[in-house]
Amino acid sequence: MLDRIQKAQSLINAACKKLGRQINIMEVCGTHTVAIFRNGIRSTLPRKLKLLSGPGCPVCVTDQGYIDTVLQLADREDCIITTYGDMVRVPGKDGSLETKRSKASVKVVLSSEDALQLARDNPNKMVVFVAVGFETTAPATAVVVKEAAEANIDNFCILSGHKLVVPAMRALLSGKNNNIDAFLCPGHVSVIIGYGAFAEIVERFARPCVVAGFEPLQIIQGLSEICQQLSAGKPDLKSVYSAAVTERGNTTAQEIIAECFEPADGYWRGLGQIEKSTLKLKDKYSRFDAFRRFDITEVPGEEMSGCRCGEVLCGLIEPAQCSLFEKSCTPRTPIGPCMVSSEGACAAWFKYGRERKSEQ
């Protein structure tokens, strides 16, 4: 295995030397950011190869307005809020879900099924599921919405914060910060959507897109493949995660998403409004849509003062460049979601990268 790593590394070095200029590769997925740090991959790469964190952490890209909405619902006596663990500590204007947990109205769940079961067990409460995640997680929400519909479980609804990865990549390339040369694409999102979903990024924007899993060899091989493509001037679509990712993806999961959801315009922290980038429940399931049940209009919220998560998410700055980083914003006292989430760039930098200051 060591020789495969070394081979990949020498290919990276050769390609970078040939290109002679700075190369910026965006790691779309937060789990990649963490894996890259944890395995010390950054320090093995040539100086001219820069890895940019991307908007691939679903908690991090959730707009402040959504978070404030969740906190307001948590205050209601008639609601139980169910959520995946990562969202619990994200601060809003009025504390976080964690500070409201003592009211017994907030429950952390490992699966959407647990949320639905809570609705069955608590018929006098409205159970709201905080449905945050990309295409990897959206099918799990769709399954329980269908189940709730079939079983007529009326005291259940979801607040959809589900987002789509490819529209975000498109928005990044169409925006002002288009110094992204290539993408290292997320592994488990690709299990669902198939690596073929990135073809339009390659074709329309001529950027290499390579899907890798989370194992260090895969990541290095993925980076090596990207560098070779850049060096040859031949952007292409590839997956090195053959164990779990196919070109078409999981069609059962895609079908269930399509049955329950439709793409809608939505706000992303850092990227603003992106067309058809979020998932909204279809009209036939509207009674399970918390936005409609509670008559909530989603408006972008104000970021917490001084927080620069938005810029971190677009790869415009590194966490160390935020004046709050390590000082008032730490994993114990987070100000923005990038420090809270286990996949947030700021949390990764804090945990693994603190001896190094911003790579200039």
Distance CA 196, CA 69 (A): 35
204 vs 354, beta carbon nearer another protein: 354
Q: Which is nearer to another protein, 12 or 256 (CB)?
A: 256
Sheet with 237-239: list strands edge to edge.
49-56, 23-29, 182-185, 209-211, 237-239
- In whole angstroms, how far apart are CA 106 and each of 74, 82, 126, 349? 7, 6, 12, 29
Subset of 34-53 contacting another protein (CB under 8 A)? 38
> Does residue 120 belong to the site contacting another protein (CB under 8 A)?
no
Q: Beta strand 156-162 with 182-185: parallel, antiparallel or unpaired?
A: unpaired
Residues 299-358 interacting with another protein (rule: CB under 8 A)? 330-333, 341, 343, 351, 354
Range in contact with another protein (rule: CB under 8 A) among 148-156, 170-178, 244-252, 307-315: 244-252
Is 67 a binder of another protein (CB under 8 A)?
Answer: no
User: Which of 79, 192 has the CB closer to another protein?
Assistant: 192
For residue 123, what are its two tokens? 């018929």
Site membership for another protein, residue 191 (CB under 8 A): yes
CB of 168 to another protein, least distance (A): 14
CB of 263 to another protein, least distance (A): 20
The residue among 258, 344, 337 whose CA lies nearest residue 304 is: 337
Adjacent-strand bridge partners of 27: 53, 184
Binding to another protein in span 211-230, by CB under 8 A? 213-215
- 189 binds another protein per the rule CB under 8 A: yes
From the CB of 232, what's the least distance to another protein, in Å?
Answer: 29
Closest approach, Cβ 1 to another protein, in A, equals 10
Length, in residues, of the chain: 360
Q: Which of 15, 59, 271, 339: binder of another protein (CB under 8 A)?
A: 59
Structural contact between residues 271 and 312, judged by C-beta atoms closer than 8 angstroms: no
Least distance (Å) from another protein to the CB of residue 356? 14
Q: Smallest distance, Å, CB 141 to another protein?
A: 9
Residue in 83, 112, 239, 277 binding another protein, rule: CB under 8 A: 112
Question: Does the protein bind another protein through residue 4 (CB under 8 A)?
Answer: no
* Residue 187 within binding range of another protein, rule CB under 8 A: yes
> Which is it for strands 156-162 and 126-133: parallel, antiparallel or unpaired?
parallel
Chosen residue from 70, 97, 153, 192 binding another protein by CB under 8 A: 192
Long-range contacts of 121-125 (CB under 8 A, 24+ apart): 122/80, 122/155, 123/155, 124/78, 124/155, 125/78, 125/79, 125/80, 125/155
The answer to the question of residue 26 lying near another protein (CB under 8 A) is no
Q: Is residue 67 within 8 Å of 304, Cβ to Cβ?
A: no
Answer for which of 243, 283, 358, 359 binds another protein (CB under 8 A) is 243
Q: Tokens representing 199?
A: 């073809």
- Asked whether position 113 contacts another protein by CB under 8 A, the answer is yes
Residues near another protein (CB under 8 A) = 29-31, 38, 56-59, 84, 86, 110-114, 132-134, 136-137, 139-140, 143, 186-189, 191-192, 213-215, 243-245, 250, 252-253, 256, 330-333, 341, 343, 351, 354
